[in-house]
Amino acid sequence: MSSSGARLWWQLLRMGRSAGRASESGRTRFLALLMATVVAALAASAFVVSAATFDGREARGMARNPVLAGQGEQPKALWSRYWESEHGRQYSVVVLWPLTADAPLPPGLDRWPAPGEAFLSPTLAEGPGREDFTRRYGHMAGVVGETGLATPRERLVYTRPSEAMLNSSFLEGVTGFGAPGPGFGDVRLIGEGRERDCAVIMALLLVLPAAGLVVAAVRMGAHGHDRRARLLHLMGANRRARAWLDLGAAIIPVALGTLAAGVLLAPALVWNLTLPWIDFTLAAADLREAAGALIRAVLASGLAVLAVALLLRPSTTRRPGRAPRRRAGNGGILGRISVVACSVSFGAAFVSVWAAPQTPAVYLIAVIGALATLPSVIGRLTAGLAPRLAASAHKRGAPGRLIAARALAARPGTVVRLVSTLIIAIGVVGQTQLITSLLEHRSGDTRLLNSAEGNSMALVQAADRARPSEEFRAALGQGVHIVSLGHADLQPDGSSAGRIIQAPCADLIALALPCPEPGTGETVPFGRLDRRLKAMSYRFFGDTDATVRTGPTARLDPQNTYLVVFAPEGTALDMPTVKRAARLTLSTGAVIRTLAEGSQSYTLGFHARWLSFLGGVGTAFITLAMVFSTLSEFLRFARGLAPLTAVTGEYEVFRKTAGWSVALPLAVAGVAGIVAYVFLAQPISNVSHGAELSGELCLFLLALTVTLSVTAAFAAHVAAVREARTWRPRAD
């Protein structure tokens, strides 16, 4: 580029910056572009953070996987892993026993625990004292380092049993750690394809609102900006010159926003960052590994905002005085494309659940397309109906309605900017509620989980190596009852014609069961069994009748021990005591399930909290966009109507014009958004254990729409009156 060319583009940049500051809503647009850039950078960075977290979790999970000793190999340690739970949240307990002096340590441990000792992850070590984690698996000897945890706040235990408990469960020989394949702990709870689904959900709940904010920020003061662009075109400025001017108006706030996003992300590269509400901690080590990708994502976001600022410009190719060929409000080719894309997106969302039931990403992508194109359809529809509204207003002599109708017909883009944020906001809130309810319906009942009823009975399952139950019973204390379960006529395939319940008479009576004479049994139909026992044992014994026998609690099946521990109905067990007693006296591999956890998993319920978190962040983004968008339209509305005082001499026309040009589009958008929410809920609410359409949410959104429409119209009226009172004729 020659020196004169360089001076020209530099001068154009400076002119664009000056014009941006002096233009309509210049300062507000500066702030909006800055914040939009920050939001866009954070939304883009979320994908990098997600990918880095998944990769780091998988790498650390693989590093701690045991390498099983092959045939003929001498094992260096014994290893096994069992599930434990804390109020429905599952985690792994790893049982270890070194066999040689050079046995390699698992990642995260600085020494082998002594017999009867345990290493806990920091989250468990700092857990509530009532859970008694520091004694549940033996004496706590230390904490597991971050290199041995899939995530910094993962719950994990490494324990070495006492000499007496060494053979109470099955342990495998291992030669080291770092085997490929599925991991354990938190890694095991992440299903296949979860990373892809997470990316699509973030696109719906984060990127779509961020895009709405970017568009709202770029088009602030659009009327004056478009008028200036057409004036420059008439003066002979070509596309490149106008682009440099637009770039000059946006580059400073975008650069500052990019820098601010980098500053906000920098602490996460140094310290582990805990996200609010979901109690998940991002590992700084993972983000440092992805630092280059984070920098590129932030810079790319800034460039994307600049690209949007350059692309969302008015068309200046039409010659002055030449009327457009297309009918007003038709919207041209882009309008037709938006209608087709919106229809296809809604149709794809409706049929995706049946066409691709195992691929929820298809439904979510269709929802993104529907919400992104619906505002354009509403703008096209409003502009198409505006001439009829204008004709009716002219016939009836209604100046406010006439002005509003002609404005809507002339500038359908104004309607799109005004309604898009509201539609996206309703879509984000609605989809958050739908997907959250879908996951929660497939998860356990949290009310039962936290109730005395849900913790009044527990099933303890152990393998045939479990020690006799006498010591276990003694460790439970007074007021706790135990009965043993077993299969009657157990077949090789695991089927059974019934169940056996055996316990001392006092424990049988506590379950409202008979006490047959020793050596005899009495059959009790399934329907007469304690309802807690039926729910607890259905997974293993089905709806079979019971043969009740009086005798000591013992292992009744060849391969498994089933012991039911219970307190009087309505009284909660001391579950930490039960779990500690089972682990330290019965079997290191004992699996203890409360009544609430007996046949239900709460993993999806915990995953659903991510939706509330992402949906809340996305709603904050789109709310910010709504504020900037409506503020811009209020300012344009007020300045555009101010000269009417010279013609009408009164301000009543402002109120009516505001009602038709501001309140009506918002009301239509709100109703359309609610209808879209109801429509998009149908395919996922009709499947088994599907999502739940919330009537309360519909009423809330409808009330919010009415309130927002009335408030926006009133604010526009007030702004117009204030502007009219200070308006003076001037050269324009």
Residues in Cβ contact with 89 at an 8 Å cutoff, skipping those fewer than 6 apart? 155, 602, 606
Q: How far apart are CA 673 and CA 566, in angstroms?
A: 51
Q: Which contacts of 698-705 are long-range, i.e. CB under 8 A and separated by 24 or more positions?
A: 698/674, 701/426, 701/429, 701/430, 701/670, 701/673, 701/674, 701/677, 702/670, 702/671, 702/674, 704/670, 705/422, 705/666, 705/667, 705/669, 705/670, 705/671, 705/673, 705/674
Measured CA distances, 279 to 123, 266, 399, 559, 636 (Å): 11, 20, 57, 39, 44
* 120, 157 contact by CB (below 8 A): yes
Residue 315 above 60 pLDDT? no
Give the number of other Cβ atoms within 10 Å of residue 578's Cβ: 23
Averaged pLDDT for residues 406-416? 69
Residue partners of 199: CB distance under 8 A and separation at least 6? 47, 50
Q: For residue 76, is pLDDT > 90?
A: yes
List the structure tokens of 86.
């804390």
Segment 205-259, tens digit of pLDDT: 888 888 888 888 887 765 556 566 666 656 555 566 666 677 777 788 899 999 9
- Where exactly are the structural domains of the chain? 1-65+211-318, 69-179, 331-441+608-732, 448-594
Q: Render pLDDT for 83-135 as a digit per residue (tens, 0 to 9).
A: 888 888 889 999 999 999 999 999 999 999 999 999 999 999 998 888 889 99
Nearest to 214 by CA among 299, 293, 302: 302
pLDDT exceeds 50 at position 72: yes
Q: Mean of the pLDDT values across residues 646-665?
A: 67
Instruction: For residues 197-212, give the mean pLDDT.
Output: 86
Amino acid 325: pLDDT = 44
Whose structure tokens read 């979510």? 364
Full DSSP string of 454-484: TTSEEEEEEETTPPPSHHHHHHH-TT-EEEE
SS3 state at 549: strand
Amino acid code (one letter) for 136: R
The pLDDT tens digits for 657-684 are 777 777 888 888 888 889 998 888 888 8
Amino acid at 731: A
With a cut of 50, say whether residue 321 has pLDDT above it.
no
Compare 30 and 627 and report the one with higher pLDDT. 30
Instruction: Choose among 124, 154, 188, 451: nearest CA to 279.
Output: 154
